[in-house]
Amino acid sequence: MIKFLRRLVKDDNGAVTVDWVVLTAVVVLLGVAVLSVIGPSLTDTASEISVVIETGLT
């Protein structure tokens, strides 16, 4: 059992996968944070554009 644990601790296979998973999670969370900040203004702008299109105003 001790040999197995030593070999498990020394084995670095999969470390790159963990790095990519963490990096991907950070990118996704950053995207969610950005969308939560600019989301309301995007909704307002989309509503204004919709009104202009419907009424034909310029």
Q: What is the pLDDT of residues 1-58, one digit of tens each?
A: 888 878 877 777 777 888 899 999 999 999 999 999 998 899 899 999 999 999 986 5
DSSP-based three-state secondary structure for 58:
coil
* CA dihedral of residues 13, 16, 21, 27 (deg, nearest 10): 180
DSSP 56: T
Ordered by start, the domain boundaries in the chain are 2-55
Q: Quick check: pTM over 0.75?
A: no
What is the DSSP track for 8-41? HHH--TTHHHHHHHHHHHHHHHHHHHHHHHHHHH
